[in-house]
């Protein structure tokens, strides 16, 4: 590590608390805090060459070939020319260096783009435009609307009332709903006065840099007072300022010390399991090479003593060298000759194959998202085959599985269900983009983006059905949404969660428009009439109450309580008169839940004035109590929230991305386990789990782990394990695996009967990830089909992935879209970023990126599987052809006195891997496919062999080596026997060294080419040209090299004059070529035939189906819409955190008061010109049958039906 790096580590260890002073650069510089510049690159102009070469020579093979090059320049031991090694080595180093340089230049450009952004900084009492990288800790900066936050800031003041700012945190957590931050009143008084801000000299003492996005602790000392600081007063780098003209902030952390950069995690060099296995095999091959060279060196020593000693009488040894020294030189000579067992062209070919398969991903039109103009992108070229071995997928929820867009989909009002579209037969139709939408033109204040398809509901509103009006009145009043209206009629709602915004927007479109609020009133427009309700109390939502209520007084003076919440909670508080309505509504809720919608029950209650006055007094006493305040308030809430009257229920769709359920179903069939790691609350995560088919009602059981202590969590995990496998032992079962020479304990998969799901909360997960309990958690989770972790932090996401990586020895993939997913994306073997509206932070840290989760199935089941299959075929064939090539040298050594003479022409040795066999194997590795993409989707189980490493493993490698040994014996001894003591037709001798070399190398080339043809499953024109062209190239080059002309030009370089012409003109030579080829492939064909008949694999069975179908794609399965019901209740539509009721009623959350406006409605109720009711709400049915009548008639009359207001004077 560099001295700079050590200094950074020491500084981080030393910094226990951050101290800084506003507008005092000299004081702050003394602490040597990081500037705001970021640097994600690895090299600069001067360090690139030495560092890159150092990294490349850390690869064992590159160092080995450098060592060979040194040996080849020693004349005493070199029997090959130096260029046979230096040319491929330089080529490999150059290609890799060029790729690394390109990647690093892109990183430099990205860094420069960010570092050179401009921001206004307060320097010497003036605002100056400075580059981001020049901003320092302690500076005061000014941000304007829609600007990115420059660094981690303490909010000082803003343009909004009460110094509020609105920020979008999509880059951090993937959520697009706005968050609110508020400055301290003492700094808010500085406003935008530059002079006051320049004189501000507050001191901040806070926590040191860390990656906790949801927590901040510190204090501000100013004017002799100390003020507490928390996360609500901090603006983090990566956020965007929204709906706020300007704000001022004090820089607390800059550049690499910001929470955004701290969450980026450490970039690690990712290598595939094939790479790791290849390194082990290369080490084994080096050992085997040393063994072969030792055998041949000993053979040379024995030969020198027995056969060489008499020969020294004719040719004495130089410098008196003896047999021992001769065998020493022979050892190194054979190291050079037999080095082709690990040719450097292997690594060149691997890089080319990976690059080609990466281009396929980039070019795939089926992974292109037209709406956002986003193609899929392989951001790394070294991990493609790993995509074919994924066992665990870890997915974020918000923005990854869902669009983070809530839509009002259906509702049930007074026993009648709305939202379905029926045909003339009364059967429900599938809603699609061509389905006719409701016309909201009668409402000038309607949101044009809102769509609804059931016309009956808007007709019921126009007919002034009292229950329908009360339903939407509740939605317009019972919330904590803030309204902004910068232009007349253009309303913008700021909701603390998208689902609450969706409910208020639905009420707005159906004629109950929330317009504005003050701390003690709510103004709405009801069917064109402006009405202001007095807001008397907000009984706010929290995770225990699971409901929210408001108490309002209407303009007529009527007191009402409106409540919305989880149906199980609301039902407990209903008046007994609602029993039949509750049964009908429950049926509707079950239907909604079966479709994966988020449900919410609505109820109301008219209050007695005297009772409320007394209750209000006790509420005030409880809210000011010093002890047990929350308990007293809860008891008061329970007292007033009872005997409610049921209005109905809402069903909101947390819109999944297109194709998510189908994708998860396909991946499950491929035996890929999917874990969802989300920061959302448990109910929301469960709901999405059901929506996307991750959790299913037909599962045997779904375990909820929510213990608040280590003992509780451990017991819940053990109970779940006992339920799944009653005979399970308490101790975890491990299987020792050896990886890179180390024994690694891998947790064994335990089979269970049935399918189970596991849902665990964030606080429980914190205990489960402790060292003493992590194996219990992992063991239980791995027995389940699906796992959902809720309320998890970015660090916990990374810890879960690391846990599976460590103990399961399985290939993992993490997919997400926000900065909170970056840690797990970097920890996983494969990181995938979703590029969408939630920011690009995850994409920048990912290995692959695309716009929609559904593309994951194509990435894995098609591109991943093909890449893995091609790479395994390539490696098996490459080792086969090179081992066969090298073993022939080994056998020949016993017939040439162990003299390190080569069996082939030197030019054949140079061109064998670079020209004669390079293109055919590359063609197979780039174009081969066992079945096409349609069949890959039809049979996801084809993916399983990759997870089990069946296509290339140590066993497959040793089979390949044995096959090569057999082939080399055939290819050496058959030609040797064929030409031994043989003569030509003209009585000349055939068996000279050069003729034998040409015969052997020709037999070798035909044998390996035929073997390639057997390996290939998918022949294309390119493959055919490569195979035939390589054979043609061999003969063309050989005849040219052996020509008279080249011999006359360079006699030493081209000694094989006329050999090819003389040898290949003999019939017995061609008969030998045919015989060796048949004998080489006969065992392979026999083995494959017997294996397919006796033990066919999944691939064999599917390929048989393909051949029977004559390679025509199967018809796509018809998906019929099934009307599902569910007794499970989906998550209620509320925010993820406690509500903003306190802020609303205190007035600290408000914008400037709105001025009175005309309603903008032209017509209301049945007085609407030209309106004639039709459809279901008018009692019209094409089939002559009343619709939805029976259940409605069974419902008791409520008090609302007695107060129907008719405004039409004619009636």
Please tell me what DSSP assigns to residue 260: H
| Residue in this structure with the two tokens 């958690």, named with its chain if needed | 777
Please tell me what DSSP assigns to residue 623: H
Instruction: Give, in order, the Cα–Cα distances in Å from 457 to each of 12, 442, 1171.
Output: 62, 14, 15
Structure-block tokens of residue 363: 């070019």
- Give me Rg for the CA atoms of the chain: 38
| Residue in this structure with the two tokens 């390190």, named with its chain if needed | 900
Say if residues 261 and 151 touch (Cβ distance below 8 Å).
Answer: no
- The rounded distance, in Å, linking the Cα atoms of 325 and 121 is 77
Task: Count other Cβ atoms within 10 Å, centred on residue 72.
Answer: 21
Instruction: Give, in order, the Cα–Cα distances in Å from 503 to each of 340, 478, 479, 480, 594.
Output: 71, 10, 9, 12, 20
**Considering Cα of 720, then 725, then 729, then 734, what sign does the dihedral take?**
negative
The SS3 call for residue 677 is strand
Say if residues 367 and 850 touch (Cβ distance below 8 Å).
Answer: yes
- The rounded distance, in Å, linking the Cα atoms of 863 and 361 is 7
Nearest to 326 by CA among 345, 307, 348, 313: 307
For strands 756-760 and 786-789, give the pairing. parallel
H-run or E-run covering 531: strand 529-539
Lay out the sheet containing 164-168: strands in order across.
179-182, 164-168, 240-242
State residue 1200 phi and psi, 5-degree precision.
-65, -30
Helix 498-509 vs helix 466-477: angle between axes, to the nearest 10 degrees?
140
Structure-block tokens of residue 1190: 């029976």
On the CB side of 895, how many CA atoms lie within 13 Å of its CA? 14
Length of the chain: 1211
To 5 degrees, how large is the angle CA 1032–CA 1036–CA 1041?
145
Helix 794-808 vs helix 774-782: angle between axes, to the nearest 10 degrees?
80
State residue 308 phi and psi, 5-degree precision.
-80, -25
- Chain centroid to Cα 866, Å, comes to 20
Catalytic residue numbers read 396
H-run or E-run covering 640: helix 629-640
Structure-block tokens of residue 1106: 């393909």
Please tell me what DSSP assigns to residue 490: E
803 CB contacts (<8 Å, ≥6 apart)?
769, 774, 777, 778
- The rounded distance, in Å, linking the Cα atoms of 955 and 552 is 76
The full DSSP string for 180-247 is EEE--HHHHTTTT-HHHHHH---EEEEPPS---TT---EEEEETTEEEEE-GGGEE-TT-EEES-SEE
Structure-block tokens of residue 415: 């026993």
Lay out the sheet containing 218-222: strands in order across.
18-21, 203-206, 218-222, 225-229
Say if residues 732 and 795 touch (Cβ distance below 8 Å).
Answer: no
Rounded to 10 degrees, the C-alpha dihedral 803/804/806/808 comes to 150
- The rounded distance, in Å, linking the Cα atoms of 219 and 172 is 24
């Amino acid at each position: 590590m560099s001295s700079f790096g050590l200094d950074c580590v020491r500084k981080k260890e030393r910094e226990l608390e951050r101290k800084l002073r506003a507008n005092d650069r000299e004081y702050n510089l003394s602490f040597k805090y990081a500037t705001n510049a970021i640097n994600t690159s690895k090299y600069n102009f001067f360090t690139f060459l030495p560092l890159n070469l150092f990294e490349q020579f850390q690869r064992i093979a590159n160092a080995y070939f450098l060592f060979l090059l040194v040996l080849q320049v020693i004349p005493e031991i070199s029997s090959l020319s130096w260029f046979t090694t230096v040319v491929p080595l330089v080529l490999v180093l150059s290609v890799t260096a060029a790729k690394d340089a390109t990647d690093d230049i892109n990183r430099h450009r990205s860094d420069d783009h960010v570092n050179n952004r401009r921001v206004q900084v307060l320097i010497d009492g003036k605002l100056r435009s400075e580059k981001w990288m020049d901003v320092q800790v302690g500076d005061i900066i000014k941000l304007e609307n829609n600007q990115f936050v420059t660094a981690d800031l303490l909010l000082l003041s803003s343009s909004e009332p009460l110094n509020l700012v609105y920020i979008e945190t999509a880059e951090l957590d993937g959520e697009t709903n706005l968050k609110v931050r508020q400055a301290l009143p003492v700094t808010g008084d500085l406003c935008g006065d530059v002079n006051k801000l320049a004189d501000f000299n507050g001191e901040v003492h806070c926590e040191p840099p860390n990656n906790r996005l949801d927590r901040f602790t510190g204090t501000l000392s100013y004017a002799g007072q100390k003020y507490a600081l928390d996360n609500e007063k901090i603006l983090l780098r990566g956020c965007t300022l929204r709906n706020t003209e300007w704000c001022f902030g004090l820089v607390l952390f800059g550049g690499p010390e910001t929470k955004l950069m701290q969450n980026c995690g450490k970039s690690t060099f990712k290598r595939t399991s094939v790479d790791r296995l290849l390194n082990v095999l290369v080490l084994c091959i080096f050992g085997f090479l040393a063994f072969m060279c030792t055998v041949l060196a000993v053979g040379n020593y024995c030969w020198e003593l027995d056969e060489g000693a008499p020969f020294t009488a004719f040719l004495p040894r130089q410098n008196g060298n003896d047999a021992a020294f001769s065998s020493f030189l022979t050892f190194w000579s054979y190291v050079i000759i037999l080095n082709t067992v690990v040719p450097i062209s292997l690594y060149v070919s691997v890089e080319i194959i990976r690059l080609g398969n990466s281009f396929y991903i980039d070019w795939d039109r089926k992974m292109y998202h037209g709406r956002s103009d986003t193609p899929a992108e392989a951001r790394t070229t070294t991990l493609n085959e790993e995509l074919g071995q994924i066992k665990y997928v870890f997915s974020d929820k918000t923005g990854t599985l869902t669009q983070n867009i809530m839509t009002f989909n259906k509702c049930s009002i007074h026993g009648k269900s709305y939202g379905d579209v029926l045909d003339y037969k009364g059967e429900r139709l599938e809603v699609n983009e061509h389905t006719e939408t409701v016309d909201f033109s009668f409402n000038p204040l309607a949101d044009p983006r809102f769509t609804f398809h059931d016309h009956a509901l808007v007709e019921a509103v126009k007919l002034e059905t009292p229950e329908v009006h009360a339903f939407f009145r509740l939605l317009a009043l019972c919330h904590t949404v803030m309204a902004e209206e910068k232009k007349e009629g253009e309303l913008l709602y700021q909701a603390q969660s998208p689902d609450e915004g969706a409910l208020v927007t639905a009420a707005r479109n159906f004629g109950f428009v929330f317009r504005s609020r003050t701390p003690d009133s709510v103004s709405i427009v009801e069917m064109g009439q402006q009405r202001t309700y007095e807001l008397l109390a907000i009984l706010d939502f929290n995770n225990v109450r699971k409901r929210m209520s408001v108490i309002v007084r209407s303009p007529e003076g009527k007191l009402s309580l409106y409540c919305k919440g989880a149906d199980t909670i609301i039902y407990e508080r209903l008046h007994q008169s609602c029993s039949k309505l509750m049964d009908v509504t429950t049926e509707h809720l079950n239907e909604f839940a079966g479709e994966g919608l988020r449900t919410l029950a609505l109820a109301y209650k008219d209050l007695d004035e005297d009772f409320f006055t007394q209750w209000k007094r006790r509420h005030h006493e409880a809210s000011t109590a010093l002890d047990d305040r929350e308990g007293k308030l809860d008891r008061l809430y329970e007292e007033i929230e009872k005997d409610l009257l049921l209005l109905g229920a809402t069903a909101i769709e947390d819109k999944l991305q297109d194709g998510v359920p189908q994708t998860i179903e396909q991946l499950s069939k491929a035996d890929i386990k999917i874990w969802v790691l989300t920061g959302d609350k448990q109910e929301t995560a469960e709901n999405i789990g059901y929506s996307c088919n991750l959790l299913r009602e037909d599962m045997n059981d779904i375990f909820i782990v929510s213990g608040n202590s280590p003992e509780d969590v451990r017991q819940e995990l053990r109970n779940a394990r006992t339920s799944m496998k009653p005979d399970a032992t308490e101790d975890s079962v491990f299987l020792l695996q050896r990886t890179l020479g180390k024994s690694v304990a891998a947790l064994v998969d335990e089979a269970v009967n049935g399918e189970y799901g596991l849902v665990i909360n964030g606080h429980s997960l914190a205990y489960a990830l402790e060292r003493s309990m992590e194996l219990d958690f992992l063991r239980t989770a791995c027995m389940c089909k699906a796992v959902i972790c809720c309320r998890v932090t970015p660090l916990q996401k990374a810890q879960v992935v690391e846990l599976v990586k460590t103990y399961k020895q399985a290939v993992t993939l993490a997919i997400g879209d926000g900065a909170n997913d970056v840690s797990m994306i970097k920890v996983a073997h494969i990181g995938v970023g979703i590029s969408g509206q939630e920011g690009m932070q995850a994409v920048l840290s990912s290995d692959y990126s695309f716009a929609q989760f559904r593309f994951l199935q194509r990435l894995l089941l098609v591109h991943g599987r093909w890449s893995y299959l091609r790479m395994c075929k390539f490696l098996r064939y490459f080792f086969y052809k090179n081992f066969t090539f090298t073993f022939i040298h080994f056998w020949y050594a016993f017939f040439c006195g162990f003299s390190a003479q080569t069996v082939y022409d030197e030019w054949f040795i140079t061109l064998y891997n670079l020209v004669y066999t390079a293109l055919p194997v590359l063609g197979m590795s780039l174009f081969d496919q066992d079945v096409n993409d349609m069949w890959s989707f039809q049979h996801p189980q084809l993916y399983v062999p990759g997870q089990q490493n069946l296509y290339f493993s140590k066993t497959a490698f040793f089979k390949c080596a044995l096959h090569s040994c057999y082939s080399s014996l055939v290819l050496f001894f058959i030609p040797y026997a064929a030409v031994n003591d043989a003569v030509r037709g003209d009585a000349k001798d055939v068996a000279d060294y050069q003729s034998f070399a040409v015969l052997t190398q020709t037999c070798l080339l035909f044998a390996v080419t035929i073997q390639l043809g057997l390996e290939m499953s998918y022949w294309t024109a390119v493959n055919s040209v490569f195979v035939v062209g390589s054979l043609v190239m061999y003969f063309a080059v050989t005849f040219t090299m052996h020509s008279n002309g080249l011999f006359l030009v360079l006699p030493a370089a081209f000694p094989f004059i006329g050999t090819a012409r003389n040898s290949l003109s003999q019939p017995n030579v061609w008969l030998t070529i045919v015989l060796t080829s048949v004998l080489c492939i006969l065992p392979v064909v026999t083995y494959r035939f017997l294996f397919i008949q006796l033990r066919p694999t999944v691939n064999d069975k599917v390929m048989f189906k393909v051949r029977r179908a004559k390679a025509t794609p199967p018809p796509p399965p018809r998906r019929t819409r099934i009307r599902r019901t569910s007794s499970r209740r989906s998550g209620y539509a509320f925010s993820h955190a406690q509500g903003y009721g306190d802020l609303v009623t205190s007035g600290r959350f408000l914008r400037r008061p709105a001025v009175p406006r005309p309603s903008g409605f032209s017509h209301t109720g049945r007085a609407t010109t030209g309106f004639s009711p039709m459809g279901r709400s008018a009692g019209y049915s094409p089939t002559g049958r009343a619709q939805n009548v029976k259940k409605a008639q069974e419902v008791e009359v409520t008090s609302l039906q007695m107060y129907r207001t008719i405004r039409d004077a004619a009636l």
